[in-house]
């Protein structure tokens, strides 16, 4: 009797264990199914996000291309109407449409002067956009940088022939070819040389070049007004110009050095300066030759 009882108890216990296990198994299965559906959902979400990121990449790429196109189109679209104003004023002033009295002439000359200022501002802004376009957008080729520097220097000196400022070249690279974007480096060189002339009423500007540490080194030393100590740390920022400089010259909007820094850095180089107020400034840049 007791053995039958024990048997029943054992069977019942086994039954209970089975029921409990079955119950736990079901629970496990259920939670596994839930997990799988979670994973499914996440994986779907990830795929969607991935596609979105891909789309966003394509959109960004298009935007970048559009920015580069924009510069080309904007420069053309902005230059066209302003050329009409400029040519219109110039032909009025050169007598193509009859003579004007001196008062009328003075007014026309003022309008032409403002138009020329406007052209310089537009060119500055276009250069800014181009300089920010990134290295990939640069048109890198090997060029004789000294020849470019001399070309730009001679032209700027000619423009400032009324000033009592000498320009001297001290070239030491023997016409070494350097891999750069000619337009962009031309902008840097133009900025640095015309700054030197703007801020040097009389004295001397010396432009030097050399190769050192596998880099092309450029320096331009002037005997001009110098940069006040308090302004020195801001000189490469956007829209910066020292007050004294502003009083002397207001031809631009203070983008030149910011643009120059952008361009030199895009060429993996660096730009810096030393300056003493009242004595003069030296600007340097170095570009790796690789």
Residues that bind another protein (CB under 8 A): 72, 75-76, 79-80, 82-84, 86-88, 90-91, 94, 96, 119, 139, 181-183, 186
Q: Please name which of 215, 140, 137, 213 lies closest in space to residue 179, comparing C-alpha atoms.
A: 140
Nearer to another protein, 79 or 150 (CB): 79
CB atoms within 10 A of CB 224: 24
Strand 202-212 to 164-170 pairing: parallel
Question: What SS3 class is residue 203?
Answer: strand
Closest distance to another protein from the beta carbon of 82 (Å): 6
Closest distance to another protein from the beta carbon of 111 (Å): 14
Closest distance to another protein from the beta carbon of 112 (Å): 9
Closest distance to another protein from the beta carbon of 248 (Å): 25
Nearer to another protein, 22 or 84 (CB): 84
Distance CA 115, CA 105 (A): 15
Nearer to another protein, 41 or 141 (CB): 141
Half-sphere exposure of 262 (CA within 13 A, CB side): 20
Distance CA 115, CA 155 (A): 22
Nearer to another protein, 78 or 211 (CB): 78
Closest distance to another protein from the beta carbon of 107 (Å): 18
Nearer to another protein, 99 or 233 (CB): 99
Nearer to another protein, 3 or 80 (CB): 80
Closest distance to another protein from the beta carbon of 183 (Å): 4
Report CA Rg, the chain: 35
| Structural tokens at position 177 | 């070819």
The dihedral built from the CA positions of residue 246, 207, 183 and 159, taken in this order, carries a sign that is positive
Nearer to another protein, 38 or 90 (CB): 90
The beta-strand segments (E) located in the chain are 140-144, 164-170, 177-181, 202-212, 215-222, 270-276, 280-288
Closest distance to another protein from the beta carbon of 85 (Å): 10
The beta-strand segments (E) located in 99-139 are none
């Amino acid at each position: 009797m007791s053995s039958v009882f024990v048997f029943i108890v054992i069977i019942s216990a086994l039954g209970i264990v089975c029921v409990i296990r079955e119950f736990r198994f079901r629970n496990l299965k259920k939670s596994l199914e839930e997990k799988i559906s979670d994973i499914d959902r996440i994986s779907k979400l990830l795929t969607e996000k991935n596609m979105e990121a891909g789309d966003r990449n394509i959109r960004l790429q298009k935007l970048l291309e559009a920015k580069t196109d924009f510069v080309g189109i904007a420069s053309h679209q902005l230059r066209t109407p302003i050329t009409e104003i400029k040519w219109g004023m110039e032909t009025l002033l050169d007598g193509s449409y009859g003579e004007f009295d001196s008062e009328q002439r003075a007014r026309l000359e003022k309008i032409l002067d403002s138009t020329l200022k406007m052209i310089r501002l537009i060119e500055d802004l276009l250069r800014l956009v181009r300089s920010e376009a990134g290295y990939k957008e640069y048109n890198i080729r090997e060029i004789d940088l000294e020849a470019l520097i001399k070309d730009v220097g001679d032209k700027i000196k000619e423009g400032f022939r009324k000033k009592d400022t000498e320009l001297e070249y001290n070239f030491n690279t023997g016409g070494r070819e350097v891999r750069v974007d000619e337009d962009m480096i031309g902008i840097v060189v133009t900025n640095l040389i015309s700054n030197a002339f703007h801020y040097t009423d009389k004295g001397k500007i010396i432009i030097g070049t050399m190769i050192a540490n596998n880099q092309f080194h450029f320096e331009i030393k002037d005997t001009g007004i110098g940069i006040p100590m308090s302004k020195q740390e801001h000189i490469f920022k956007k829209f910066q110009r020292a007050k004294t400089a502003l009083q002397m010259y207001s031809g631009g909007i203070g983008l030149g050095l910011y643009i120059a820094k952008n361009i030199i850095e895009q060429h993996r180089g660096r730009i810096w300066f030393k300056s003493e107020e009242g004595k003069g400034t030296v600007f340097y840049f170095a570009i790796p030759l690789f």
